[in-house]
Chains A and B, each alone.
Chain A
Amino acid sequence: MSETLDRPASDLKVVGTRPIRPDGADKVTGRATYGADFNMAGQLVGKILRSPHAHARIVSIDTRKARALPGVKAIITGADLPEVASALHQGGEAAANMRDLAMNVMARDKVLYEGHAVASVAAISNARADEALAAIEVTYEILPHVIEVEDAMRPDAPVLHDHVFTEGVEPKPDKPSNIVKRSGYTRGSLDEGFAAADLVVEGRYTTQAVHQGYIEPHACVASWGADGQCTVWASSQGQFMVQTYCAKVLGLENSNIRVIPAEIGGGFGGKTTVYLEPLALALSKASGAPVKMVMTRDEVFRATGPTSSSVMYVKLGAKSDGTIVAADIELKFQAGAYAGSPVGAACMTALACYDVPNFVITGWDVVTNTPKVAAYRAPGAPIAAFAVESAIDDLARKLGMDPIAIREKNGVVNGAKSAYGPTFQNIGYLETLAAIKDSDHYKAPLGPNQGRGLAAGFWFNIGGLSTGAVHVQEDGSVVVVTSNPDIGGSRAAMAMMAAETLGIPVTNVRPIVADTSSIGFSMLTGGSRTTFATGMAVVQAAETVLADLKRRAAALWDTSIENVAWNDGVATCLDAAKPDAKPLPLSRLALLAGRTGGPISAEASINAQGAGPGFGVHLCDVEVDPETGHVTILRYTAAQDVGRAIHPSYVEGQVQGGAAQGIGWALNEEYIFDRDGKMENPGFLDYRVPVASDLPMIDAILVEVPNPRHPYGVKGVGEVPIVPPLAAVANAVRGATGVRIADLPLSPPRIVAALEKAGG
């Protein structure tokens, strides 16, 4: 663990500045190589045949006609892939069941959602691959399906998995169920809490499945060498995750798979698993040629992501002074085809902003005939926050309290026990509320049909396994190597932390994202961990290099290392007995490296602990057209405790991006299924994400309560900003219309219907 440098912000010369990002020019000029941009000589086109049914038994798959087509080089079905045992494995962040992962990559005996892969082909062209897919004859026995979470929980619901028996209930069930697990948290006594309450609010809240909406579709090229050594070029949130998951699905050794990360065009959690890569490898093995696979947008919607839909019940009790004394919360989350919704994290975060003496939080993880959910920024937290923050807004309105005042009254502070157990340390929730209270936005007047909504949010942030390397080149410039794909500006952050530690300009540092064979392991980019954890590894490596540089300077001056001072990238001799010792800049020490022991470099591999939790408070103004139900976002301000911002522009970008995605979740985005369980809107024309013209400039206020466990005070920042917006928008619409609409999205038809119901 690196020791805290404990330097005040005023001493920092690089951290906190806003240099141009090292990957910026390539990205804005179109030269960056994303997943679909990579090609190999002789590559084949890989494509997937997907289920047209939401739930069906695969009776047979006849590939003979397809195989007979000229130019079709390989066809893979579930029968061609190894059986994978049901076991949890830590490949990404949370443990994943490898059998479920393999079955999601390619169905075996049953398809569990429309879009589930049933066969894959490799052919010499797009057209021939399409022809082959059309020639594959699959016979299905169609089964009843279930989409909605509460429908799936009914005793008479069609059961997806015969081996799933509900965990966490007594007595242990003797029949399989779609309810995978019950989990929860309790404190105090609900009865006593509600008995002490002067006011109770309650509601039923629903959210719909939404996709992460990354612009870049999943894409990869895979090459299975004649010697069994494999290479995958892929866009993902973690090259080591791709390596491990491919190895597990295909029964290979990790060391036989080299994964080279492409530039990534958005992930938001949705690229923390594999869909194409194992199939591309299997097709490459079968065909003897490299295979390239690129999803269409239709496939991205039907077969990847999304996050859960939900049904939630929240009941809050408060004293007349606004003190919340009881909370009863039930969260039902759609997991998709396989177990593992983020309801556990939703339970943990639901009341994380508040110090409530009596509560019961219950979560249900439920499988449905929809795509297996994937992580999406702060998984589960925005959904729970929508319900809880809406209820708190109602509580404040009924009590006639200011929405900030009620949160200040109940907000957690250092030393408070979090709702999920541990005691908070070094948190900045009240400071974040204060930042919004002090903003011009909070004091600005509103016009007719306009409303203002406020909501708070929390995310844990994590550390974990990371590697960083620092290499000094012979001219004194520096290369920083990590193994985390750069989603949100992490290259810049790594370079800046290395430059700060070495006392050199950031322009002298070149950050590189390396492949799985070129650098030690790092967990994937997710969980708001990279700048914190991988940054910590980089700082440690830079500190090792710095110590080495001082040792080398001492050797050249023939003095002890205590006589070496290092400032602004230059060693100076403090030994009074060496008046002629000339300062040694990094460039000189690099040039003389051979004389002082060889190349100058260091690598640090760590399991970073001490991640600081983050809090955000968002303020949203809307105008609602009462005739059309259209909501215009007039003004939006987001404040967040970020620890310390390494590159404030990219931290602000994370805050703005999270807010924008949350606004889309609140207003427009939703998976719409027809009666047969087929998605009706698998494209950006019908699945409406916000575009620039939909939104005002989102003002980001960075509140800096440094994390003492990081050399530069970093807390994670990428996930908190998507937690408050759902409720902030909903509370603003409540303010504008006088009607609480508890079902997302707040689309025009829903608002018009709610206004008509309220009016008449």
Chain B
Amino acid sequence: MAHVVITSECAAFTGGATEFDIAADNVGRLVTELERRFPGLGEFVEQRMSVAIDGEIHQDAWISPIGPDSEVYLIPRIGGG
């Protein structure tokens, strides 16, 4: 089970919970599971968030693998100048 940590702006979808474990082996399946467990969060993540897996930030990378013990952070999407 990957350990998932979300930011405060995502916590509105989870009843305030900011950390939980999710069984998902890639980002796409993670987003699907987030939407199933917390309706609206999957879409929110899809539009506004990046997924950091074991310290590496992944953007729009739904096939990026998530290990069984991965550290997963949902963080705002990053742009730049």
- Min CB distance B71 to A, Å, is 6
Q: Which residues of B have CB within 8 Å of A186?
A: 8
Q: How far is the CA of A186 from the CA of B11 in the complex (A)?
A: 13
Q: A260 near B: Cβ within 8 Å?
A: no
Mark out the residues of chain A between 248 and 304 whose CB falls within 8 Å of any chain B CB in the assembled complex.
Answer: 268-270, 272
Q: B55 near A: Cβ within 8 Å?
A: yes
A610 partner, pick from B56, B75, B77, B78, beta carbons under 8 A: B56
Mark out the residues of chain A between 427 and 485 whose CB falls within 8 Å of any chain B CB in the assembled complex.
Answer: 459-465
Contact stretch, chosen from A63-71, A89-97, A222-230, A315-323 = A89-97
Q: B15 near A: Cβ within 8 Å?
A: no
Nearest residue, chain A, Cβ from B71: A423
**In the complex, per-residue mask of B31-60: 1 if CB is within 8 Å of any chain A CB, else 0:** 000000000000000011000101111111
Q: Which residues of A have CB within 8 Å of B9?
A: 167-168, 181, 183
Contact indicator A95/B52 (Cβ below 8 Å): no
- Min CB distance B7 to A, Å, is 7
Contact indicator B79/A422 (Cβ below 8 Å): no
Q: How far is the CA of A168 from the CA of B79 in the complex (A)?
A: 21
Interface residues contributed by chain B, number (CB under 8 Å):
26
Q: Which residues of A have CB within 8 Å of B60?
A: 90, 464-465, 607
Majority SS at the chain A contact face? loop
Q: Which residues of B have CB within 8 Å of A610?
A: 56
Contact stretch, chosen from A32-40, A525-533, A579-587 = A525-533
Q: Which residues of B have CB within 8 Å of A272?
A: 79, 81
Known: A185-B7, A379-B80, A719-B80. A421 touches B56 (CB 8 A): no
Q: Which residues of A have CB within 8 Å of B55?
A: 422-425
Q: A377 near B: Cβ within 8 Å?
A: yes
Q: How far is the CA of A6 from the CA of B76 in the complex (A)?
A: 32
Q: B30 near A: Cβ within 8 Å?
A: no
Q: Which residues of B have CB within 8 Å of A422?
A: 52, 54-57, 71, 73, 75
Contact indicator A94/B79 (Cβ below 8 Å): yes
Q: How far is the CA of A565 from the CA of B38 in the complex (A)?
A: 55
Contact indicator B8/A168 (Cβ below 8 Å): yes
A95 partner, pick from B47, B56, B64, B71, beta carbons under 8 A: B47
Known: A168-B9, A421-B52, A421-B75. A462 touches B47 (CB 8 A): no
Contact indicator B79/A609 (Cβ below 8 Å): no
Nearest residue, chain B, Cβ from A424: B55
Known: A345-B78, A421-B73, A425-B56. A184 touches B8 (CB 8 A): yes
Residues of A within 8 A of B (CB): 88, 90, 92-95, 167-168, 181, 183-186, 212, 268-270, 272, 344-345, 348, 375-379, 420-425, 459-465, 526-529, 607, 609-611, 709, 716, 718-719
List 14 A–B pairs whose Cβ atoms lie within 8 Å, in order of A's numbering: A92-B79, A94-B77, A185-B7, A379-B81, A422-B71, A422-B73, A459-B80, A460-B80, A464-B59, A526-B80, A527-B80, A609-B56, A716-B80, A719-B81
5 tightest CB-CB pairs across the interface, nearest first?
A269-B81, A527-B80, A93-B79, A422-B52, A94-B79
Q: Besides A183-B8, A607-B61, A611-B57, 10 other CB < 8 A contacts?
A: A185-B7, A212-B81, A270-B81, A345-B79, A375-B79, A421-B5, A421-B75, A422-B54, A462-B78, A607-B60
